[in-house]
Structure 1
Amino acid sequence: METEIRFRIATEKDLDSIVAMLADDVLGSKRERYEQPLPNSYIKAFKAITSDPNNELVVACDGNEVIGVQQITFTPYITHQGGWRATIEGVRTSASVRGKGVGSELIKWAIQCAEERGCHLVQLTTDKTRPDALRFYERLGFKATHEGLKLKL
């Protein structure tokens, strides 16, 4: 990896960069609204995430530049003897660093956080129209062991 990155919890000042990354792909451009000022819905969601001790919005930075993002949610379950799981969502990297290992480092960092919090499982989903993303996660050790279902409201 050519880029020296560090990870930290996102601040509200990072929100513009985060939404820009979320909107910068085929699917994201259809569901996100990257405009100035940012829609208030992003600010409300950010505040809800950061006020919840079981949610972390994490950014990867190269110097002062935000180059990656992911959300990690820690959930207690009654199954698996009352174990905890970590769910990774919203993983994106800046177009300028794609293919340089930043995404892999983000996921490895999330796995380490999950281990430190005592989780027995890390889970994530990827859209079926993203076969490259599926291969990426499989290279990192994830296995498609379940069929995920969603109900859009």
Structure 2
Amino acid sequence: MSDLEIRPAAPEDIPAIVAMLADDPLGAQRESPDDLAPYLAAFDRLAEDPHQHLVVAVRDDQVVGTLQLTVIPGLSRRGATRSIIEGVRIHADERGSGLGTRLIEWAVEESGRLGCQLVQLTSDATRIDAHRFYERLGFEASHLGFKKAL
């Protein structure tokens, strides 16, 4: 993986990121790669917030992975700061290459560097393979999550 660079995402990375977000059965229902305007507006909001870290993995000048790391200061757990890993996506050509492991390891290391005492993530209930992947990396299925669309 020495030919891999993990760096902050830039506006020109948005088409590749959105394509990866849409490249599975769940994402295909939620994402609109043909209309990048809402994604570019969201990118601007993320770029203004120092607690948001949208990164891409780049190999041979191609975006091949992405994730978002959010840092949340809190009162619980004796004032612990936590991070949340979201939007982990790996380009179809790179799945099974170890890139997902490298991205998650980067996020955990970065969380520690940023002073976090806890790293958490959610994964759709239907993504059984992803659940095994996260457990293999030391994450525990400790909570039941809920969402409400607004």
> Which interval holds the TM-score relative to the shorter structure?
over 0.9
Aligned pairs for 1:1-153 (under 5 A) are 4-35=3-34, 38-153=35-150
Q: Which amino acid in 2 is paired with 1:72?
A: L
CA distance in structure 2 between the aligned counterparts of 1:29 and 1:70, rounded to whole angstroms: 18
CA distance in structure 1 between the aligned counterparts of 2:31 and 2:94, rounded to whole angstroms: 21
CA distance in structure 2 between the aligned counterparts of 1:39 and 1:119, rounded to whole angstroms: 32
CA distance in structure 2 between the aligned counterparts of 1:92 and 1:4, rounded to whole angstroms: 19
Give the conservation status (yes or no) of the 8 Å contact 2:15–2:36: no
CA distance in structure 1 between the aligned counterparts of 2:101 and 2:36, rounded to whole angstroms: 30
Structure 1 residue 63: deviation in Å?
2.3
Structure 1 residue 116: deviation in Å?
0.4
Runs of 4+ in 1 over 2 A off after TM superposition: none
Instruction: Report the TM-score, using the length of structure 1 for normalisation.
Output: 0.95
CA distance in structure 2 between the aligned counterparts of 1:92 and 1:113, rounded to whole angstroms: 18
The share of aligned pairs that are identical, in percent, is 47
Structure 1 residue 83: deviation in Å?
1.2
Give the conservation status (yes or no) of the 8 Å contact 2:5–2:59: yes
> How many equivalent pairs are there?
150
CA distance in structure 1 between the aligned counterparts of 2:4 and 2:64, rounded to whole angstroms: 9
Structure 1 residue 152: deviation in Å?
1.5
Structure 1 residue 21: deviation in Å?
0.3
CA distance in structure 2 between the aligned counterparts of 1:141 and 1:128, rounded to whole angstroms: 18
CA distance in structure 1 between the aligned counterparts of 2:81 and 2:36, rounded to whole angstroms: 33
